């Protein structure tokens, strides 16, 4: 049940989401934000997402490095405890409840990457 896949202008994020888009027909949307630095970039994308979020919808947001991911999650209302790991098999799930509270789950999928 993914309604929309969100990447950035970096092609890798769009390529990461493409297999799920092919399987589910969920569109890939490129967040309209220019890169200056990772923290500013994440803050602007979080603000954009909060403005357009639809209650009950499910979004997959493709991440980048730990500074970006931590700042993005904080901008979306989550409170990650410390910086997130910076491994390719990490998956962070943010769930916003009907009352606005946010829950985080940090999971891993697949094996280690040679890039880790």
Residue-wise pLDDT tens digits, 66-110: 788 889 999 999 888 766 666 666 778 888 888 888 888 877 777
Distance (Å) of CA 7 to CA 64, 107, 114: 10, 20, 23
User: How many Cβ atoms sit within 10 Å of the Cβ of residue 113?
Assistant: 9
- Report pLDDT for 41: 94
User: How many Cβ atoms sit within 10 Å of the Cβ of residue 102?
Assistant: 13
The structure's pTM equals: 0.84
β 4-7/28-30 pair status: parallel
| Residue in 43, 42, 4, 40 with CA at minimum distance from that of residue 21 | 4
Residue-wise pLDDT tens digits, 6-24: 999 999 999 999 999 999 9
- Report pLDDT for 83: 63
- Report pLDDT for 94: 83
């Amino acid at each position: 049940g993914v309604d929309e896949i969100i990447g950035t202008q970096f092609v890798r994020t769009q390529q990461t989401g493409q297999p799920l888009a092919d399987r589910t027909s969920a569109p890939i949307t490129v967040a309209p934000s220019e890169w200056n630095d990772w923290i500013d970039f994440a803050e602007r994308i979080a603000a954009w997402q909060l403005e357009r979020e639809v209650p009950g919808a499910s979004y997959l947001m493709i991440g980048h490095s730990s500074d970006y991911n931590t700042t993005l999650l904080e901008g979306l209302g989550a409170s990650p405890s410390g910086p997130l790991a910076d491994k390719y098999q990490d998956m962070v799930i943010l769930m916003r409840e009907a009352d606005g509270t946010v829950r985080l789950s940090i999971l891993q999928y697949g094996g280690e990457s040679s890039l880790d």
